[in-house]
Amino acid sequence: MKIKLHVNYKTNWGQTLFVCGSVPPLGNNDESNALEMVYTPESSWSVEFECNEEGTVEYYYIVKEGNRIIHKEWGGHRFSVEKGKCYEVEDTWRNMPQQQFLYTSGFTDSFFKHEPPAKAKFGKKSLVLLVECPYVKKDQSLILVGATKTLGEWKLEKALHFTPQPNSFWQLVINAANIKQPQEYKLAIYDHRKKDIIHWEEGPNRMLQPLPAGFPDNSVHIESFSYWHGWMNWKSAGVAIPVFSLRSEDSFGIGEFSDLKKMVDWAAATSQNIIQILPINDTTNTHTWIDSYPYNAISIYALHPIYLGLKEFPLENAELYKEYLAKAKELNKLSQIDYEKVYALKQSYLIDLFEESGSNVLKSKEYKDFYSQNEEWLFPYACFSYLRDKYKTPDFKRWSTFSKYNKKALQKSVDGNKDFKTAIELLFFTQFLLHKQLLGVRQYANAHGVILKGDIPIGISRNSVEAWTEPHLFNMDVQTGAPPDDFSFYGQNWGFPTYNWDEMAKDGYQWWVKRFRKMADYFDAYRIDHILGFFRIWEIPLSSVQGLLGYFSPALPLTVGEINSSGMYFSEERMASPFIHENYLGEVFGEYAEEVKQKYLHTTGWQLFGLNEECNTQVKIKSLFAGQEDVKNSHIRDGLYSLCNEVLFIKDKREPDKYHPRITAQFSYSYKFLSEGEKYAFNRLYDDFFYRRHTQFWHDQAMKKLPTLISSTSMLVCGEDLGMVPDSVPWVMNKLQILSLEIERMPKERNVLFNSLPSLPYLSVCTTSTHDMSPIRAWWHENKELTQTYYNQVLWKQGPAPDDCSSDLCWQIVSNHLNSPSMLAILPLQDWLSISDSLKYPNPEAERINIPAIAQHYWRYRMHITLEELLAADDFNQEIRTMIKVAGRE
């Protein structure tokens, strides 16, 4: 069959248009083999080719200058072809739409999902309108009404209805024989429930032109263009809840994937469209409660076995199954998660389940397809898990001959060791069940107009499959965290290695692309944890426990000359080594000051000291005081930590002749001992370094990475952009249409106490609190002075603030967030429940999920009522539906 493509595009001299697509003449999606187009006057480009394949032709246009691609079309085009026909297509070049989020899978597969139509039937000569229109909701369709009898004579009841196509296109097939002369028409969006047009296309009426004389029989003429529509102010509401925090009558002491279906039911019943969860990857490193931390995964792909809903896989042994249910019931009664007991119970159950049905499952076609699609990560993950337990340590450097990943050697060991083979097959089996169950949840959610929003952690565990199999992609000689913020005065040290971005760039960041695409199996939206890490990451030396001695990387550290030219004379001994002076030791150590001087310090000058060799880093100090948690030793240990932080500049690891100003150095004694002139010079240098010097540099770093990653899937992208946010971050996020995170009590503007909710950007997610913060009612108790200000100046209440945040006050706070301009308002379940006296948790402080300042926090919060009880709370659910409807988020 013959296909001819036309497109109007204005090029500069020396530039040529090519078309790349899914069929051999268009290069089989290989841009180096794209088909060159021919230029004709009026900026028109065309090309003709033969295609011998039936089905769907997908393609997009690219602009080349020589062999270099300088511009690509966004999205591309597609249409169906059948043998025996010729096709002529008039295309419109597609730029990134102003509301790109309408093309994400949450809209196309859930919110605005339309059932695929029957195959179109073409006549002898067919005229096809292929209209790009992502604005058509469920129970709506695109229609055409025009001046002639063929086009409906401007009568709604005679309008022609388009059929939905993939990628937000709509198709209408018209018998070309009926179009003898130009005919005027208008497009509109029709609502089937209201039985009326709810939007007429903006702009002048369109004209349908007859086919040119001599247009051959058995040919199809396609006109492809976009529907003219202004800004669509679509808004929605959702709930945030970790999977582990769910509670149902079927739970085994912890929330499970199967519980998410009940949460979907509740979201749908209350007109919410989004369920946001925390990371769900396997974190098993120690088999203790420490593994409850969801951001320390041992695999970026493997799902955590603890989340498998076991009631969906009952044991054949009825008596044994009954015993398990009894134990699960006891664990399910607990107010919080007993991680270790739950994990042990589930592992035991999985072993028994595998013994019963594992053999048959592993022989099934469904499993074999799963394994072949996931073998690249599944095999090393299973081997890692087995070797971790065999050697009783997750530190793979201590795994003898397997300290370095070698698939061939591992496969040989598996083949020759029955226990090894059985263990990894159990893990394959478990991952298959988890995959199948979570996939089912996503499908169930989409069918109910709800989507799941996942969470991609910024870091990987130092003891993880990826660190074992691909160590060259990570900087294992440093660790990452966050600078000081509202969560932690000393910064945060997450312990993860940082990314070797230069190495990752060599194959186009495929490590990240594959990670995102795996997420897309289960989610229609995702949150990029600490998106600032794609601009620069907070890099901390391995010798540190706290985060204050870190610096941003990549960065532009200062030369000694730059420091000197700022107005302060640089001395490495004074400014880049701990400044320990007699005059402040009493303030730090109190009654223990003399003991500290005698045992841990040595004299370096008049009233000056240095830390002894055995305690001159925070890691050494931690080791020195291990197991000594009494008041005195804790006081001395923390004081010694603070002495390590007494520097004004930190030497760059990669360029040791350059320096970074120490973050928040103004709170140090080293700074306080400077002269007023030196303080002024340091402050000016500090402000320029952190707030101006890197603006363009960090913008460019992010733009190298993020466009490739976010375009690799059709998920809606949200970024957690809290903390010390450079000016370049909102620039990039707006450019790429990444939704920001907005929290009323964490304003991004300096010297402001609260965000102005009415002023929030549309492309954002607003929330009352996050898993790292206290929910509304607990926050109310934390700082009475701040609460009073909020009560008077934000809630516009007079008089003293009450001791507790009542359900009425919570209702007002929640309502204020729902009425913000943010596209998404996703609130923690705890804060939704706070508006009900009968449903809220009696103890507000018990609802907090995580405290970032505690390095090893036990993540064990569970909702105090069951999902079944929540679904039965008719009055409460109606209240939420009403609030969401009034806020225009229905």
- pLDDT (tens digit per residue) in 364-416: 999 999 999 999 999 999 999 999 999 999 999 999 999 999 999 999 999 99
CA distance 99 to 231: 8
Q: Taking the CA of residue 619 as centre, how many other CA atoms within 13 Å lie in the half-sphere pointing to its CB?
A: 9
Q: Token pair for residue 533?
A: 């890490």
Query: Quick one: what percent of the chain has pLDDT higher than 90?
Result: 93
How big is the CA angle at 635 (ends 630 and 638), to the nearest 5 degrees?
120
pLDDT at 83: 85
Q: For every residue of 485-554, which 3-state class applies, written as one string?
A: CCCCCCCEEEEEEEECHHHHHCCCCHHHHHHHHHHCCCCCEEEECCHHHHCCEEEEECCCCCCCCCEEEC
Q: Token pair for residue 762?
A: 């549309």
CA distance 821 to 486: 25
Torsion of the alpha carbons at 632, 634, 637 and 642, rounded to the nearest 10: -110
Per-residue model confidence as pLDDT tens digits over 123-147? 888 999 999 999 999 999 999 999 9
The contacts of residue 274 (CB under 8 Å, 6+ apart) are: 106, 236, 237, 238, 239, 267, 450, 451, 452, 453, 525, 824, 826
Q: Token pair for residue 871?
A: 């679904």
- Output b/e per residue, 657-678; b: 16+ Cβ within 10 A: ebbbbbbbbbebbbbeebeeeb
pLDDT at 215: 86
pLDDT at 852: 87
CA distance 672 to 666: 7
3-state secondary structure of 615: helix
Among candidates 674, 680, 705, which has minimal Cα distance to 533?
Answer: 705
Cα distances from 779 to residues 189, 242, 770, in angstroms, run 46, 20, 12
Q: Where would I find the H helices in 601-694?
A: 618-624, 631-644, 669-672, 676-691
How big is the CA angle at 880 (ends 872 and 775), to the nearest 5 degrees?
95
Among candidates 739, 836, 758, 775, which has minimal Cα distance to 240?
Answer: 775
CA distance 400 to 521: 36
CA distance 249 to 311: 11
Residue pair 313/879 in contact (Cβ under 8 Å)? The answer is: no
Among candidates 707, 749, 743, 846, which has minimal Cα distance to 96?
Answer: 707
Q: Taking the CA of residue 595 as centre, how many other CA atoms within 13 Å lie in the half-sphere pointing to its CB?
A: 12
Residue pair 720/530 in contact (Cβ under 8 Å)? The answer is: yes
CA distance 753 to 724: 15
Among candidates 621, 674, 664, 650, which has minimal Cα distance to 611?
Answer: 621
Count of residues in the chain: 890
Cα distances from 298 to residues 239, 385, 465, 710, 762, in angstroms, run 27, 9, 6, 23, 36
Radius of gyration of the chain (CA): 31
Report residue 580 CA to chain centroid gap.
Answer: 43
Report residue 827 CA to chain centroid gap.
Answer: 16
pLDDT at 489: 87
3-state secondary structure of 451: strand
pLDDT at 353: 98
CA distance 226 to 93: 10
Cα distances from 48 to residues 2, 38, 67, 69, 300, in angstroms, run 7, 9, 21, 22, 45
Where do the DSSP E strands lie in 356-468? 451-456
Q: How many CB atoms lie within 10 A of CB 721?
A: 23
pLDDT at 721: 95
CA distance 456 to 452: 13
The list of the chain residues with pLDDT below 70 reads none
Cα distances from 93 to residues 64, 108, 167, 786, in angstroms, run 15, 21, 15, 53
Between strands 125-132 and 169-175, the pairing is antiparallel
Residue pair 643/611 in contact (Cβ under 8 Å)? The answer is: yes
Amino acid (one-letter) located at 152: G
CA distance 45 to 305: 55
Mean pLDDT of the chain: 95
Torsion of the alpha carbons at 502, 508, 511 and 517, rounded to the nearest 10: 150
CA distance 354 to 427: 10
Dihedral angle sign, alpha carbons of residues 727, 728, 734, 738: negative
Q: How many CB atoms lie within 10 A of CB 310?
A: 22
Amino acid (one-letter) located at 478: V
Cα distances from 18 to residues 12, 155, 810, 881, in angstroms, run 14, 43, 58, 51
Q: Token pair for residue 256?
A: 């499970």
